[in-house]
Structures are given as C-alpha cells and as structure tokens.
Structure 1
C-alpha cells in the first residue's frame, strides 16, 4: 500500500466512524484547531493576537498603537498589543440582507484532489461583518483583511533589511482586498465529510499568505517570514511580518506580528 492510499484509508476510516456518531468526534482536531494556554510578552513593535477562534475576527488599529507609543503610556500600549476584542462572525440575518454577506457551504475533495477541488453547495444570507470605527487590519485564524488598504510582499525577511523609507515601494504593485466565499472557514462540525461553511467577505490574499493552511494528513500550516508592506487607505504605509504562529505550548494560530508604523 503506497502512502497516498494509506492516508486516504485513514481519512476514510475517520469519516466512517464519525458518520456513525459525529458528535463523538468532537475534539478530533484539537491538536490542529486548538486553544492557547500560555501567555507571551510582546517586544517593542510587536503584537500578539490569539486568533485561534473559528468564530471571531480581531481588529488592529496601528494608528492607536502609535499614539500610545508617542504618549509613553506603556501600560495602555501593552494592553493594546495583547488584548483584542472578539468581533463574532454573523450567523443570522436580523435585517435586510445585502445579497452577498452570509455563510457559503462548500464541499472540499479532501479524499481526492485536495481542497483546491471543491463544489458550492448552499448559501445562507447573514448580517454583514461588524467592525469598529477605527482599524487598520483584522485577523481570523490564517485570514487577514484590511480597512481599504492594499498589500505588497517584499523580498526581505527582517525588518532591519527594509529600505529606510517606504518611498522605495511607491511604484510597486499593491493588491487590494478581494471577495472570498470559501477561505474564511468558521465551523468544523462537518469537516470530516468534506463540508465546510465559510464567511463571504473581502480578504487580502497577499497578506493572508503569511500563514498558508495545508489540508494534508495531518493538516498543517506553512508560515511565510517575508515582510509585507501595507498601504493604508489614507496613503500612509506600515510594515508587517508574521514572526510566529505558535504559543510556547505549540498552539496554532496564536500570532506574533512584527509591525512598523508609520513607515
């Protein structure tokens, strides 16, 4: 039996077991989609975001962080670097829908060609994603979106390697957020059957590439340590880099982000 056949047999066995009693499989992905248990202390110019939740977005306001830095309010700055309010993904429609916000259910061919081979199954309209009045970018697990910004991936793997000024990137091609209806996975209840609902929302595919999800057996994440340049909607620039996606205990999607703003 070759490795591909063996892996498919293992996956099929899990699907068969959970098809008999799916609720008994609660926690089967706990080592993949787990909750953090340890705390980290950010360095200067760092953020730590517990983005392990399937259900929430977390918003970062770089301008607020800069204001706290300039004010010398270390206590408030530390709180802003590490404590981030959860903004739940809407799962219901409470008013008039906009025609595209909602839950998109796709089937992914995990036993065959992989998750790149998928089929649309259903759409459930929901409220649009709520957001704070001021924010720069937001994270949901391995997904990132911006507040009207655009992103460029650089060749650099250290903040120290960056050119002195963002002027060096002004003629480069930046990528704005794009509509997605099968990237922001927000429920794993039917994952063993290949069925995963996703939030329909704009995300930035370039910045999201700093943590690529691979549905292998077992599933895994592939981090990208390159520095990304974010052009904010007001024309200012920031440099961002994913320094780590693990807690000290190895919990995934606990993001340590290096940032430089303004750049």
Structure 2
C-alpha cells in the first residue's frame, strides 16, 4: 500500500474525494459548465445517477406501455424518478462463485493516472439486486444491459438515424464484459489512493458515452454524444444518446438527460 505523506498531496486528494463523492465538487466549472436546461420531450428521460452506491434501472417496455396509456403525468414521473438499488458491500462468505464482491484497487492518481492500477484486496458480497424486468442499468458513468449488446453509430443526432434498426442487422454489437475496477463504490480509503470497486458485468461500448479522466487533476469528464443502438434480450432495439450529464440547476455531474427511441 502506498501512503501519501506530503500534506499538500493529502489536501489535494481530500479535495478529490469531496469532488468524486458527489460527482461534482469544488472544481465544477473548471473543465465543464452546466448545460442549458433541456425541455423534456416524450422521447427523453432524466436520471440522477451521481450516487456512488446505487444502480438505477430502466425498463423501456414499461415506459412504452405508459406512453400508450395516455397518462401523461404517470409517463413523465416514470421518466424522471428511478428507484435506487444499492450495491452490496457487506461481507458474505457464502458466495460460491468467488467473484461477486468488492475489489479494492490502488490507482496511480498522481503519476500515470487511473489507467494504471493494481488489485490489493477482495471481499465477497451478495449479488447485485435488480428488478424483475429491466433493459439497461446506470451507475454514474457505468452502464450495463440485461443480456443485451450495443453498437456505437457515427450519428450525433437522433434525427440522423435510419428509419429502421434493420439497417444495422449485419453490424457487430458488443456484449457486456466482466470488470473488477471500473464501478467505483467505496471511497473510505481514498486518501491512500485505494478505491473499492464492484465486480460486475458492464457494457463498455455504451459506458463510453461518459468517461471520468484522471489526469488531469482535478478530474474531468469526457462526453461522447454519438447515438448508440442496443439490441435487447427481447429481440427489440432501442436507440440511445446522452444529451447532457450536468444538472443545469445545481451543476451536479452524472445527472443524465438521455434521448431514446423505442421500439426502434
């Protein structure tokens, strides 16, 4: 374990901890500025995914049923209110697969950046809870699918999409992949450059719509506004685009405004 000894580094990492905990912080506006408040259309949803500890699930079949019901209030509520599903962090020695749990990594924040990291510890936990039906799940800058696969297109506007998803039938869609160092959840040892990460499958293609970058310091977010097409496990397709990742009222980051087309 590498301990930071210099007071200046302790102070800097303390500020980093403050900033990352809320997905915003003292340095808001240095690298990013609040986007203009969007007018929520019937093909948009807003989700505050800034909490380190929760996954949030989206079920596009349920949204489509509400859209067709004609209940505008219920449809709007479903697109702006999402139930948090906490990441399990308590130790559970009964796990048989020896994979589900919290992996502690050391990240080289001050030299080569977070792409240079080393596993230091593992604690088995219960599996991630999830609702009976869901299409995609979001945790900050991480996204996973429910047995689906994702294609990143070259389009930067939903209006540029072909009329039908049949145009992408021959394309290569990327499935979710196992990760042990990308879903950050435990910052209790951050002063030692150690972060607890959830072992879980994520979709790296769809997660590329928002990336945390360190360096620089303070950290920055990189926004990819391309349109993604997701092949769901029910055989249907949904087109998605991250319109914005900043709360226009508070400046909080990982506050996502998402354009979608379903069924596509």
Q: TM bucket by the smaller chain?
A: 0.7 to 0.9
For the residue of structure 2 that corresponds to 1:28, the secondary structure is helix
Aligned to 1:173: 172
Q: Is this contact kept in 1: 2:22–2:51, CA < 8 A?
A: no
C-alpha spacing 1:132/1:258, structure 2 compared with 1 (3 Å): same
**Alpha-carbon offset, residue 71 of structure 1:** 1.1
Q: Give the alignment of 1:140-219 within 5 angstroms.
A: 140-215=139-214, 216-219=216-219
Uncovered stretches (5+) of structure 1, i.e. residues with no partner: 1-10
Q: How far apart, CA to CA, are the structure 2 residues paired with 1:209 and 1:53?
A: 19
Q: How far apart, CA to CA, are the structure 1 residues paired with 2:124 and 2:231?
A: 31
Q: Give the alignment of 1:100-111 within 5 angstroms.
A: 100-111=99-110
**Alpha-carbon offset, residue 237 of structure 1:** 0.4
Pairing 1:16–2:10 present: yes
Q: Is this contact kept in 2: 1:40–1:247, CA < 8 A?
A: no
Q: Is this contact kept in 2: 1:179–1:201, CA < 8 A?
A: yes
What per-residue deviation string (whole Å, max 9, x for no partner) do you get for residues 182-225 of structure 1?
00001223223211110000000000000011012110111100
What per-residue deviation string (whole Å, max 9, x for no partner) do you get for residues 67-113 of structure 1?
11111111111111000000000012457213111000000111111
Uncovered stretches (5+) of structure 2, i.e. residues with no partner: 26-36
**Displaced runs of 4 or more, over 6 A:** none
Q: Give the alignment of 1:54-133 within 5 angstroms.
A: 54-94=52-92, 96-97=94-95, 98-133=97-132
Aligned to 2:49: 51
C-alpha spacing 1:43/1:94, structure 2 compared with 1 (3 Å): same
Q: How far apart, CA to CA, are the structure 2 residues paired with 1:148 and 1:96?
A: 26
Q: How far apart, CA to CA, are the structure 2 residues paired with 1:18 and 1:246?
A: 23
Pairing 1:258–2:252 present: no
Q: Which moved more, 1:236-245 or 1:95-104?
A: 95-104
For the residue of structure 2 that corresponds to 1:78, the secondary structure is helix
Q: How far apart, CA to CA, are the structure 1 residues paired with 2:227 and 2:16?
A: 37
Aligned to 2:32: none
Q: Is this contact kept in 1: 2:21–2:52, CA < 8 A?
A: no
Q: How far apart, CA to CA, are the structure 1 residues paired with 2:171 and 2:228?
A: 12
Q: How far apart, CA to CA, are the structure 1 residues paired with 2:262 and 2:251?
A: 29
Q: Which moved more, 1:192-201 or 1:49-58?
A: 192-201
Q: Which moved more, 1:181-190 or 1:233-242?
A: 181-190
**Alpha-carbon offset, residue 41 of structure 1:** 6.0
CA RMSD in angstroms comes to: 2.3
Aligned to 1:240: 240
C-alpha spacing 1:187/1:95, structure 2 compared with 1 (3 Å): closer
For the residue of structure 2 that corresponds to 1:229, the secondary structure is strand
Q: Is this contact kept in 2: 1:229–1:239, CA < 8 A?
A: yes
For the residue of structure 2 that corresponds to 1:171, the secondary structure is coil
For the residue of structure 1 that corresponds to 2:233, the secondary structure is coil
